[in-house]
Structure 1
Amino acid sequence: MPNRLASATSPYLLQHADNPVDWWEWGDDAFAAARERRVPVLLSVGYAACHWCHVMAHESFEDEATAAYLNDHFVSVKVDREERPDVDAIYMQATTAMTGHGGWPMTVVLDHEGGPFFAGTYFPDVARGGMPSFRQVLEAITQAWTDRPDDVRRVAGDLTAHLQRTVAGVPAPIDAAVLDAAVTRLGTDFDREHAGFGGAPKFPPSMVLEQLLRHAWRTGSEPARAMVDATCEAMARGGMYDQLGGGFARYSVDRAWVVPHFEKMLYDNALLLGVYAHWGTALGDRVAAETADFMVRELGTAEGGFAAALDADSEGEEGRFYVWTPAQLVEVLGEEDGGWAASALSVTEAGTFEHGSSTLRLLHDPDDEDRLADVRRRLLAARDLRVRPARDDKVVAAWNGLAVVALVDAGRLLGREDLVGAATRAGTLLADLHLREDGSLLRVSRDGVAGRHRGVLEDHGCVAHGFLALAGATGDGRWLERARAVLDHALDRFRAEDGGFHDTASDAEALVARPRDPTDNASPSGLSAMVHALLAAAALTGEGRYEQAAEEALGTVAVLAVQAPRFTGWSLAAAEALAAGPLEVAVVGPPGEARDDLERAARRAPGVTVVVAAEGDDAIPLLTSRGPVGGEPAAYVCRRMVCDRPVTTVTDLELLLSASRAG
């Protein structure tokens, strides 16, 4: 019989709707039930594409005996971290404080006020590898709750106080010296053998790469550009990139980008699409085009948005959909082409993955590009007949905002108006379904129905940035009007006294602490997302209050940016744009090849805000009194609404941009 989760909108929660566990969704009702029964709350947090979440669900939550124990001794609450990032952030901080590490599935036990007194991640069904079984953990917690209530209260009180403690830094500007120091620090963390940063597992450093691209463009730094070149090439040729269907997996389990964790997330692919589109190489353009096509083809929803993720598993095994053996290649391609493909795509008899299978890697460009294209097409067609990984089809506002920005840039840089169309459809869905009259946002929707959870800071920053990208691409002032409504709401409800931002609104549901984390994780922090949007709004409107708010917010992370630039890459990327001007380019004139060439040249300069239109329009102040020159499309290069003479050739535009960034 289905439990309470049967009425949830989250695909992750729905995966647990048939568990024998008597699950509750997060909310006051669950805590009221725990108080009435005098039992603790067991909070389980995960997400639909999480492999070990599936394992723990199968081992423990589907087990009748374990479920019966949970139902007798706990009120069990299931949370989708992607739907409630605020709840996840608070209790992940507690988990890290208690255990020294975090991750999903996350298991936290709470008192009746939401105070945590026990935390961990995955627990097996039987004790192994030095880990106790989940049942052993539950029995120990029950004993502590019953026999040592004073200890429970003390631990919960201490942890709650820790979560509520705000570490205030001294605001300081992120100036050229800070940006140079951040790049130097990144150089010390760079893996000179395999590229990327740090060891295994190795995550795609998308936000840091965007920062380094902007730094290299602004300063001419060869070390910054070299780190970008090496990392972009290594990721694009390795097993983390889908050599057949395009798109990137979540991360590499090894240093050398050979074997990925196979789930595919929208935010990773949106951020990496932007990086590869800006990289400016033939390989970058190919990967950008393939990644954009993957997003539209496999993550696009019927309503025009983009689904959150594809699962890592199919047929009960991680990666089964994506890997190949030499025999499988021969079966699809024949003896000759199969052997050639095995060599070209690094498939060996020994294998690089489980059961003698290999991930596909294109370590070198083959001599015959046409043959490679034919092989890839045939293998993709054969792979499409396999059992596909499940899709988490909820639409997350923030991640769709990231996708809109990336698709606009990629579409215009690659001459793919279909991608701009996909961005426009996603933006329209966000405006129609997620945006409320007061400028606030709803976090998720599914099947064209908005969820009940309010958006957090990252939603407001990313969606506003997406609306501004569409304003720039279309010259339509309605997108700017929507963006301003979102930003003004965020400035009113999320801003902190020191100029930074809280991650939840001042009138949001009160949790045990109000989350505030300026560091980038898998996706941009709410603060860094807001700064990007604020700078774009300042460029299009000329309103200094937006730029001032961006500068003040950046000032709150200046010290962190020098100490840990790998975790502040998106803030540093915004600071690079600020240090370069910020630069704004209005391209005005009749549609056609000449205007497209000017727009493309402007967008090749990373971090520059671009708006294009047929004629001047007061609805977007950057377009006011702008027009063609001698009937030809013209580009106006501006800094804070002060513009150079208009130019009509790509050469003159590139010279102006070069001179402006140096100035």
Structure 2
Amino acid sequence: MNHLINEKSPYLLQHAENPVNWYPWGNEAFERAEKEDLPVFLSIGYSTCHWCHVMAHESFEDEEVAELLNRHYVCIKVDREERPDIDSVYMAACQAVTGAGGWPLTAILAPDQKPFFLGTYIPKHPRYGQTGLLELLQKVHLLWSRDREKLLETGRQITAFLSVPGSKSEEAPDKKILKQAADLFKKQYDSKWGGFGSAPKFPSPHNLLFLLDYSAMESDGRALEMALHTLSAMACGGMNDQIGGGFSRYSTDQKWLVPHFEKMLYDNALLAMSYLQAYRMTGEDMYADTAKRTLDYVLRELTGPGGEFYCGQDADSDGVEGKYYYFTQEEVLDVLGRKDGVEFCRLYDITPEGNFEGRCIPNRIGTGHDPWPSDDARLKKLYGYRLGRVSLHRDDKVILSWNGWMILALAKAAQITGDSRYRDAAIHACQFIKQYMTDSRGRLYLRWRKGEAATPGQLDDYAVFGLALIDLYRTTYEPQYLEDAMFFARQMTELFEDKKNGGYYLTASDAEALIARPKETYDGAIPSGNSAAAVLLVQLAQYTCDVLWQEARERQIRYLAGSIQEYPAGHSFGLLALIKVLYPARELVCVSADSGLPEALRHYLLENNPIDLSVILKTKENKARLEKALPYVKDYPIPDKGAMYYLCRNGVCMAPVEDISKLQ
């Protein structure tokens, strides 16, 4: 009997009809393993994972494999997006044992959850020297029956390695760390195609955000050039959906032409932020246009009825990766007619011979031409035609931290472009989280789907949602968002901080106990919770001037500075926190007799887009609430008419002025 049928996870439900007797992670499975004296076969993946589908079709839908698994193992399926804590523990074990990781993640455990075998994708039969799954399962069964102590000892050793607490290595932040990271990126930079290293190429937008901010603070033209070239190259490539907007997961080649076609919410949020920052710094419309197309894709295809954002879209349709996105010259001419069709084919590299294995991925690599406008009727025709194909699977889970990244991107888009659609979308998503993903105590849930919130929130949920709330304050100047950011940040410090060794654990102090309690600082596909927490604490300290947040900021900054010494370039989002404390910041308090942001200030922020300025707005309407959230603003009187501006920089305050232009 398969036990997944009542689960909410799309990934688990994809396996609910397998002949394998899957269980979700929980006591029932481990109690059965203990009672029947069986090892546990653990498989971790996610619903838009191409190789997860391959292993499922090859093995988990196969009667021969299922018979072996059902007879000799208790089998557990985990959605890594619903349980990042479980994934983190066993991925760390896999990387420690094999030197590599990825999904699907395959582990075999004793009933006490200690792993003694770890790997990733395993073919059914041996291939190119790799052990096949059937062979592995039979071998482990024999060892479990005849030489179990050897397996159990391996499990104890792996668990002991995972359980060793990181030494308390704190450092005072230093600009040398930033330079080391920038220099490493310069060595890895691909000057021809953009990006860093060789194929496959990941966008890693937080690396670009670091280079953009670093270039501004150090006037480093090379860092700026690398970031802008990479952003421009990705925008022209096949990794960027030239027809419908939005970016795929990564590029399999050097020049960003052939992507792994799955689209993930977090990638598109962080990439939109990178393009917006590039536009903020350069004023070049291409960057703003790419950000808008990316966000519009999310609003159109990954947004639920309550304003919530879904996880992503699959790479496969009709069992073929990328088929949904390919075009032939004949198709384009049929849809657009000869004149417009020929122009599209010329601009977007649609040729009779194809640009990838006889097929065409629309791209603008090397053309030097601008794309057709996103609202062009011809582009909409092609988009409509493509919608008629076999639809892509959409993972409609709502992951709180990923929604936080998208709220952050939308809020920044509203600030930088002035488009109220993005502000409204950010507000609606925030309201959804507060209504449906927050319990009666104000604790966050990690996941929501089809009316059910589940899994206690983890570090990333609190840290990233806090960042999103602060940027919603920057967008609306409603004090409620600052109050909420402080509320969730307090929970974060109470539930997740490692008071002894520094930093923050991934899971709360009262969460389910696993064989290890992970603490992550590396900024991989998504910035780590520790990096996000550092940026959040820096911003709270700046906005509140409260000793509580200043001390929390100092602890986390020193912890991060110590943790990232060996490989600073692997902690680029954490480096953004260091930039904010190592370079002078400016705080502006605007006190206005009128409601809303003064037009002069609004114009200044749109025109100048300052990256080092925090703004607080005090009016008659928000006076009581703002003074409750930020007691020090009581000392700023509201004028009888107009506005007064109070600017402080690096701990030094200027004389107040009525005309903002005098502060420039």
Would you say same fold, with TM above 0.5?
A: yes
| Paired position in structure 1 for 2:328 | 325
Match of 1:658 in 2: none
Q: Secondary structure at the match of 1:575?
A: helix
Distance 1:473 1:399 in 2: 19
SS at match of 1:304: coil
Over 3 Å counting, the alpha-carbon distance change for 1:375 and 1:131 in structure 2 is: farther
Tell me the CA shift for residue 126 of structure 1.
Answer: 2.8
AA in 2 matched with 1:255: Q
Task: Give the stretch that moved more between structures: 464-473 or 316-325.
Answer: 464-473
**Residues 592 and 642 of structure 1, relative CA distance in 2, 3 Å threshold:** same
Q: Which residue of 2 aligns with 1:659?
A: none
- Alignment-derived partner of residue 480 in structure 2: 478
SS at match of 1:389: coil
For the aligned residue pairs, the C-alpha RMSD in angstroms reads 2.4
Letter in 2 for 1:464: G
Amino acid at match of 1:67: A
Establish whether residue 605 from structure 1 lines up as the match of residue 610 from structure 2.
yes
Deviates more, 1:538-547 or 1:634-643: 634-643
Deviations 1:318-364 (A, max 9, x none): 11111212222222122232222122112233323344232433543
| Structure 1 residues 605-656: Cα deviation after superposition (integer angstroms, max 9, x where no partner) | 3354344565553144275555787844565443478643456667555x3x
Q: Aligned partners of 2:522, 2:370: CA distance in 1, in Å? A: 44
The answer as to whether partners of 1:462 and 1:529 remain within 8 angstroms in 2 is yes
Q: Deviations over 1:454-507 (max 9, x none)?
A: 111111100111122223322222222222221111111211123311111122
Distance 2:373 2:169 in 1: 58
Asked whether the 8 Å contact 1:34–1:112 carries over to 2, the reply is yes
Question: How do residues 227-238 of structure 1 correspond to structure 2 at under 5 angstroms?
Answer: 227-238=226-237
SS in 2 for 1:557: helix
Cα pair distance change 1:146/1:648, threshold 3 Å:
farther
Structure 1 residue aligned with 2:540, among 531, 537, 541?
Answer: 537
- Post-superposition offset of 1:316: 1.4
Q: Among residues 558, 563, 568, which one is paired with 1:565 in the alignment?
A: 568
* Aligned-partner Cα distance in 2 for 1:87–1:580: 38
Q: How does 1:27-426 map to 2 (within 5 A)?
A: 27-168=26-167, 170-280=169-279, 281-361=284-364, 363-366=366-369, 373-426=376-429
Question: More deviation in 481-490 or 369-378?
Answer: 369-378
CA contact (8 A) 1:259 1:359 kept: no
Deviation string, structure 1 residues 550-579 (Cα, Å, up to 9, x no partner): 232222232553432332011001111222
4+ residue segments displaced more than 6 Å: 627-630
Displacement after TM superposition at 1:372 (Å): 9.9
Return the alpha-carbon distance in structure 1 between the equivalents of residues 510 and 442 of structure 2.
14
**Whole-angstrom distance in 2 between the partners of 1:29 and 1:598:** 60
One-letter amino acid of the counterpart of residue 644, structure 1: M
* Aligned counterparts of 1:367 and 1:516: Cα–Cα separation in 2: 44
Residue deviations 1:378-414, cap 9 Å, x none?
2222212222211111111111111111111111211
**Distance in structure 2 (CA, Å) of the matches to 1:607 and 1:145:** 60
**8 Å contact 1:473–1:611 — kept in the other structure?**
no
**Candidates 648, 651, 661, aligned match of 1:638:** 648
Stretches of structure 2 that go unaligned for 5 or more consecutive residues are none
Q: 1:33 to 1:478 in 2, by over 3 A?
A: same
Q: Does 1:514 align with 2:517?
A: yes
- Whole-Å separation in 2 of the counterparts to 1:448 and 1:363: 47
Unaligned runs of 5+ in 1: 656-663
The 2-side partners of 1:310 and 1:646 are apart by 51
Find out whether 1:618 has 2:627 as its counterpart.
Answer: yes
In structure 2, the partner of 1:661 is none
- Given residue 490 of structure 1, which amino acid in structure 2 is its aligned partner? M
Deviation at 1:186, TM superposition (A): 1.9
**TM-score, normalised via structure 2 length:** 0.93
- Secondary structure of 2:484's counterpart equals helix
- 1:427, 1:302 → 2: CA distance? 14
Percent identity, aligned pairs only?
A: 36
Residue 227 (structure 1) shift: 1.4
- The answer to whether the 8 Å contact 1:185/1:562 transfers is no
Indicate if the aligned counterparts of 2:247 and 2:263 stay in contact, CA closer than 8 A: yes
| Per-residue CA distance 1:571-597 (angstroms, 9 max, x = gap) | 001111222334334455445753421
Q: Distance in 2 between matches of 1:78 and 1:54?
A: 13
Cα deviation digits, residues 402-439 of structure 1 (max 9, x gap): 11111111112111111111101111111122223444
SS in 2 for 1:225: helix
Q: Structure 2: how far apart are the matches of 1:368 and 1:434? A: 39
Equivalents in 2 of 1:491, 1:196: separation in Å? 36
User: Aligned partners of 1:191 and 1:369: how far apart in 2?
Assistant: 28
Distance 2:357 2:612 in 1: 42
- Taking structure 1 as the reference length, what is the TM-score of the superposition? 0.93
User: How far apart are the structure 2 equivalents of 1:464 and 1:259?
Assistant: 36
